[in-house]
Structure 1
Amino acid sequence: MSNKKNKDIKIDDSESENENESGSDRDSDLDSDGNYIGDKELQADFEGRNPEDCDFHGIKQLLRQLFLKSNVDLGELAQIIISQNYVGSVVKQCLDDGQDDDDEDDDGSDGVFGVTTVINITKRKDESCVQQIRTLLMTLAEENANDKTKALVNKILSDDDRHVGLVINERILNIPAAISVPLFASLQSELEKAVKRDMPYTFQYLIWICKTYNTGEDSSEVLFANQEEKPLLEEALASFEVDVTEQADLSQWDYEGGALTPCRKVLIFDGSKFNNLVRLLKEEVENV
């Protein structure tokens, strides 16, 4: 399948401009998930494309940011994302004029800056990585959720007649939230087309795992790594939070004199509300 180009977005990509920067300096500019948080900027153009085989390693690395050290076969999950490339996009840097997309010296595997898609974890429940995700969700709910939420998680993951979609919205930290708008607009369109073709993308429930940071025990403020996801919390049927400090390479990083603790917030939605969720994230981006 040929690549699709959703929308070019000119953004400030906060990457180091110094190719010879020492390893120790680079490490000091990483957050608890291993994302770059330095203050140097490099302007670049990005576009959304269909996932391809050459994107495997880049997708797997982004999935590691989300799942950290959880017992999930991220290689198999990356293959699923590529196999269903008619739904979802990866974010790639636009090529300069005259640069060949099939350059033998660059297979593109390290050039994936984001991935946005949804996976049917009911239809694919017999695939090992999906089994691992389902087990992970039930275990995390058992350990972190209230009784009502535990019951809901067990219910939706045990009823094969009600399909559950796992939304994946992951990107390198320094890519602005604005890029999520065309990516989710494209995902909306692709899901609608898939449903019209009787493909299994009608979801009764959606599960969305958000990367968040807590500012401390005395503060109720929760920071979302992907800013556009912030308003979604109020729309969730249920949610619970997981402290992932022990899984992160760095437990905390400084924030205005304090420290941020890395967490995951698991949100559960009515599947029919997907279009409304996309509207909310778009409004959040526009209001920033």
Structure 2
Amino acid sequence: MCFVSASEMSNKRNKDIQDQESDIDEEQDSGSERDSDLDSDGNYVGDKELQADFEGRNPEDCDFHGIKQLLRQLFLKTNVDLGALAEIIISQNYIGSVVKQCLDEPEEDDEDDDGSDGVFGITTVINITKRKDEKCIEQIRSLLITLAEENANDKTKALIKKILADDSTQVGFIINERILNIPAAISVPLFSSLQSELDKAVRKNMPYTFQYLVWICKTYNTGEQSSEVLFANQEEKPIADEALASFDVDVTEQADLSQWDYEGGALTPCRKILIFDGLKFNHLVRLIKEEVEAV
């Protein structure tokens, strides 16, 4: 597993997020051993400590494919144009950050490398009211209504329909995705940076004052009587109690791997859809920081 200690992020284009320092085992593993440390998606799942430095940057064109891949983790096989969504994220690159590995100066042979590989995370927010006429945002809005119809109680269904039907109500869609084994500590500087960027945008009269926030969390159900819910992004656990409304969606049929072992049981992949009062965003960021510091 990759252990990372987050450092403070500035608001400049190359924003330092994390400086991870750990010892690397000097022994070289055989090819077969290295392969066994990767899951079916190529993510490292071994138990050795790796050394890597990460930075947060504003999204750029070269990050398109990496962002799209991260979005696929969240949306799976739903009918959302992830390429178009990635383009929106890049187009509003003054809001949000991608996580990339800090690399030494490229050698001459790497001059043609466009930096498209190695997007380890994305944290941003999109105004799905202002952009409601864009096809992929229309698909997200329709998806939220459909999922609520199939899984939520009547009160939550009514709330989602209400906030999406009123064009004077600005709704922000939070995206907080990263690859496996990047720890929760990374979220603190990412969200601190997002706070600063949103404040700057609002001061410029840009449409980033939200009355409501929608947040989709990746979760896993243990299937036990206690119905314990595990959050893929640990920092999101405490914010669930702050939601105005929420509901869960079983995505077993869409996930490539439907169950994982968990202390002798199994995990079923789900999505928890949370609706927040937009004024609570700074409070949610504080809860995220407290959760990370408590680990």
TM-score by length of 1: 0.91
Is 2:256 aligned against 1:249? yes
**Which residue number corresponds to residue 187 of structure 1?**
194
Give the Cα separation in 2 of the matches to 1:284 and 1:23.
33
- Aligned partner (choices 14, 17, 34) of residue 7 of structure 1: 17
Is 1:117–1:169's contact at 8 Å kept on the other side of the alignment? yes
Q: Which range moved further: 131-140 or 3-12?
A: 3-12
In the alignment of these two chains, the number of paired residues is 281
Give the Cα separation in 2 of the matches to 1:124 and 1:237.
23
Shift of 1:105: 4.2
Is 2:214–2:275's contact at 8 Å kept on the other side of the alignment? yes
Is 1:6–1:183's contact at 8 Å kept on the other side of the alignment? no
The change in CA–CA distance for 1:158 and 1:11 in structure 2 (over 3 A counts) is farther
**Which residue number corresponds to residue 110 of structure 1?**
117
Query: 3-state SS of the aligned residue for 1:7?
Result: strand
Is 2:147 aligned against 1:146? no
Query: 3-state SS of the aligned residue for 1:233?
Result: helix
Is 2:119 aligned against 1:91? no
* Paired residue type of 1:188: Q
Is 2:83 aligned against 1:79? no
Give ranges in structure 1 of 5+ residues lacking alignment: none
Give the Cα separation in 1 of the matches to 2:34 and 2:167.
48
Shift of 1:127: 0.3
The change in CA–CA distance for 1:69 and 1:101 in structure 2 (over 3 A counts) is farther
**Which residue number corresponds to residue 76 of structure 2?**
68
Is 2:152–2:248's contact at 8 Å kept on the other side of the alignment? yes
TM-score by length of 2: 0.89
The change in CA–CA distance for 1:43 and 1:161 in structure 2 (over 3 A counts) is same
Q: CA RMSD in A?
A: 2.4
Q: Which range moved further: 201-210 or 34-43?
A: 34-43
* Paired residue type of 2:143: L
Give the Cα separation in 2 of the matches to 1:67 and 1:11.
33
Give the Cα separation in 2 of the matches to 1:244 and 1:37.
22
Query: 3-state SS of the aligned residue for 2:173?
Result: strand
**Which residue number corresponds to residue 4 of structure 2?**
none
Shift of 1:108: 1.9
Give the Cα separation in 2 of the matches to 1:8 and 1:107.
23
Give the Cα separation in 2 of the matches to 1:240 and 1:21.
42
